[in-house]
C-alpha cells in the first residue's frame, strides 16, 4: 500500500484557513486587492465557496478598476494568498467575515502586469536573486476629523491635542486604541500608537517585517482605521496635507537588507558602523528619489506637505540625527541598523511605493553608488547658497514636475512595468489637470475683490 502523499506548505496553510473559518463561524469572505491609487477593493463571497476559491480563485470584472484593464479585456482572476487570512474583529453573528489579500491573474494563468502587488513581488524576487531579504517598518500618520450634519467629512480636527498628549486632551485615544486592538487580533504586532504634532493627528507603527507583508499591512491599517473612525462618528483621513498651517501626514519608512540572519547594513568597523551595502543602498535612494517622488508622493496635495517648516523633508540629503534630512540613520545598531526615508506619504499605493524604494536601493548596491557626506545642520535654515555648497538638492515641487522626472526615469518605468507606468501617468496627469484648470477658493479670496 502506497504511503499517503505529504502535504505541501501551501496545502497546510489552506487547511489552517478552512479550520479557522469553521472555528470562528465565518459567514463571508472578502477577497481584497488594490487599485493603482492604493484604494482597497474587494469581492465578497459566502464562506461555502472558500475551499473552491483557495484552490482556483474567482473571476471578476476588472474594467472599472482604476489602472486595470480595458473593457474588451476585462476578465481577471483573483487568487487568494492564504497567508493573509484574517478574521475581521468588528464583524459578528450572521455577518461574521474574514479577509484574504489576492494576487491578480489573467485567465490563461499568467500574472497580470497591472497588479500593484505583483510589481513589489518582482522587486523582492530581484533582491532575493542578489542574496538579500528586504525588511521595512512604516510609520503611518493620519487625521481624525468631525463629520458635518449630513455625515460628510470635514477637515475640522476631532481634538486640539499636541504631540504625545494623553487622553484628557487626546480625544482620539479610544479610536486609536480600538484600531490597535483590531489590528492585533488580525495578526499585527503593533510597536506604538500616539497623538502626533497637529491637532487631530495620530500615528500607528507596526513592527519591522518582510517588505511584502508590511505593504499588505499598510493597506489593511488604512482600511481598519477608517472602519473604526466611522463607528465613532468620525472620518479618518490619510491625506498628506488636509489643513493649512500645521504638519501634514507622512509615512516614514525604515528599511534594511539582510543576508540570512545578518543585517547587511551593519558593520562594526564601518564609518558610523554602517556597511558598504548600507551606503550603496542609501546612495541609490538619494540618486533616484527625484524620479520616484511621483510614486512616493502621488497626489497634488502631497506637495503641500513637502515644504520647509513642518518637519517634512524637501531637501535631498542624509544625516544621523538631523530630521530635516531626507534620509535619517536611527541610532540603533547591530540587528537594528536601518535607514529611514522620510518623504513618502500614506496617500499612495503601498505596493508601488515599496517597490520603487527597494529598486532604487538595489540600483545603488548593484552599481556601488556612493552617497555624499552627511548634513547634520538644520537644512531648513540654510540659504540657497549654503545648500548648493553642501550638495543639497530639492525634491520636485509639484505633481507635474514629479511626473516629468518619472517619465524620464528608466528605473521607474522598469519597476512599474509598461502597463502600470502608462496607466499611472495617465491617471495622475488627469488629476493634475483637474487641479490646474480649476478655480480655487484661495484665488477668489486673493484676487476677486482686488482686481
Active site residues: 61, 139, 141, 196, 203, 252, 323, 340, 342
What 3-state class would DSSP assign to 444?
Answer: helix
Q: How far apart are CA 351 and CA 211, in angstroms?
A: 9
What 3-state class would DSSP assign to 363?
Answer: helix
- Please state, as a whole number, how many other Cβ atoms lie within 10 Å of the Cβ of residue 332: 11
Q: How far apart are CA 13 and CA 82, in angstroms?
A: 6
- Please state, as a whole number, how many other Cβ atoms lie within 10 Å of the Cβ of residue 111: 15
Closest C-alpha among 395, 402, 294 to residue 353? 294
Burial of 189-216, coded b for 16+ CB within 10 Å and e otherwise, reads eeeebebbbbbbbbbbbbebbebbebbb
What 3-state class would DSSP assign to 232?
Answer: coil
Please provide residue 297's backbone torsions phi and psi, each rounded to the nearest 5 degrees: -135, 85
Burial of 52-82, coded b for 16+ CB within 10 Å and e otherwise, reads ebbeebbebebeebebbbeeeeeebbbbbbb
What 3-state class would DSSP assign to 140?
Answer: strand
Residue 186, all three cell numbers: 488580525
Contact 105, 76 (CB under 8 A): yes
> Measured on CA atoms in the order 130, 365, 396, 254, is the torsion positive or negative?
positive
Q: How far apart are CA 419 and CA 106, in angstroms?
A: 14
E-strand stretches of 164-277: 190-195, 201-206, 209-210, 234-237, 251-259, 262-263
Q: How far apart are CA 443 and CA 446, in angstroms?
A: 5
Cell 505633481, located at residue = 399
Q: What is the largest CA-CA distance in the chain?
A: 94
Amino acid at each position: 500500500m502506497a504511503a499517503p502523499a505529504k502535504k505541501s506548505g501551501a496545502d497546510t496553510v489552506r487547511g489552517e484557513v478552512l479550520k479557522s473559518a469553521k472555528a470562528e463561524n465565518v459567514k463571508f469572505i472578502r477577497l481584497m486587492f488594490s487599485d493603482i491609487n492604493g484604494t482597497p477593493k474587494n469581492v465578497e463571497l459566502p464562506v461555502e465557496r472558500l475551499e473552491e476559491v483557495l484552490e482556483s480563485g474567482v473571476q471578476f470584472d476588472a474594467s472599472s478598476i482604476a489602472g486595470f484593464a480595458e473593457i474588451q479585456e476585462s476578465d481577471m482572476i483573483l487568487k487568494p494568498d492564504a497567508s493573509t487570512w484574517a478574521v475581521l474583529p468588528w464583524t459578528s453573528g450572521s455577518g461574521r467575515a474574514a479577509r484574504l489579500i489576492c494576487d491578480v491573474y489573467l485567465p490563461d494563468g499568467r500574472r497580470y502586469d497591472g497588479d500593484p502587488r505583483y510589481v513589489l513581488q518582482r522587486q523582492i524576487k530581484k533582491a532575493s536573486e542578489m542574496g538579500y531579504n528586504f525588511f521595512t517598518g512604516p510609520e503611518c500618520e493620519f487625521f481624525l476629523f468631525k463629520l458635518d450634519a449630513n455625515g460628510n467629512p470635514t477637515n475640522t480636527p476631532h481634538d486640539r491635542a499636541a504631540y504625545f498628549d494623553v487622553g484628557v486632551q487626546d480625544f482620539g485615544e479610544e479610536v486609536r486604541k480600538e484600531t490597535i486592538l483590531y489590528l492585533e487580533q488580525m495578526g499585527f504586532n503593533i510597536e506604538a500608537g500616539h497623538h502626533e504634532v497637529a491637532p487631530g493627528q495620530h500615528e500607528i507603527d507596526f513592527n519591522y517585517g518582510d517588505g511584502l507583508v508590511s505593504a499588505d499591512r499598510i493597506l489593511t491599517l488604512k482600511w481598519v482605521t477608517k472602519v473604526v473612525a466611522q463607528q465613532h462618528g468620525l472620518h479618518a483621513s490619510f491625506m498628506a496635507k488636509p489643513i493649512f498651517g500645521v504638519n501634514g501626514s507622512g509615512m516614514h519608512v525604515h528599511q534594511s537588507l539582510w543576508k540570512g540572519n545578518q543585517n547587511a547594513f551593519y558593520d562594526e568597523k564601518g564609518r558610523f558602523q554602517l556597511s558598504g551595502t548600507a551606503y550603496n543602498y542609501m546612495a541609490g535612494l538619494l540618486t533616484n528619489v527625484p524620479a520616484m517622488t511621483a510614486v512616493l508622493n502621488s497626489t497634488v496635495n502631497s506637495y503641500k506637505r513637502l515644504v520647509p517648516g513642518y518637519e517634512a523633508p524637501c531637501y535631498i540629503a542624509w544625516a544621523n540625527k538631523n530630521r530635516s534630512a531626507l534620509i535619517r540613520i536611527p541610532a540603533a545598531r547591530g540587528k537594528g541598523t536601518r535607514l529611514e526615508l522620510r518623504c513618502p506619504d500614506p496617500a499612495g499605493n503601498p505596493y508601488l511605493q515599496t517597490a520603487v524604494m527597494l529598486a532604487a536601493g538595489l540600483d545603488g548596491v548593484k552599481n556601488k553608488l556612493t552617497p555624499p557626506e552627511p548634513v547634520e545642520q538644520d537644512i531648513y535654515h540654510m540659504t540657497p547658497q549654503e545648500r548648493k555648497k553642501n550638495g543639497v538638492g530639492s525634491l520636485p515641487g509639484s505633481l507635474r514636475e514629479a511626473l516629468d522626472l518619472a517619465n524620464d526615469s528608466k528605473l521607474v518605468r522598469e519597476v512599474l512595468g509598461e502597463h502600470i507606468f502608462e496607466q499611472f501617468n495617465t491617471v495622475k496627469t488627469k488629476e493634475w489637470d483637474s487641479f490646474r484648470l480649476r478655480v480655487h477658493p484661495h484665488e477668489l479670496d486673493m484676487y476677486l475683490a482686488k482686481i
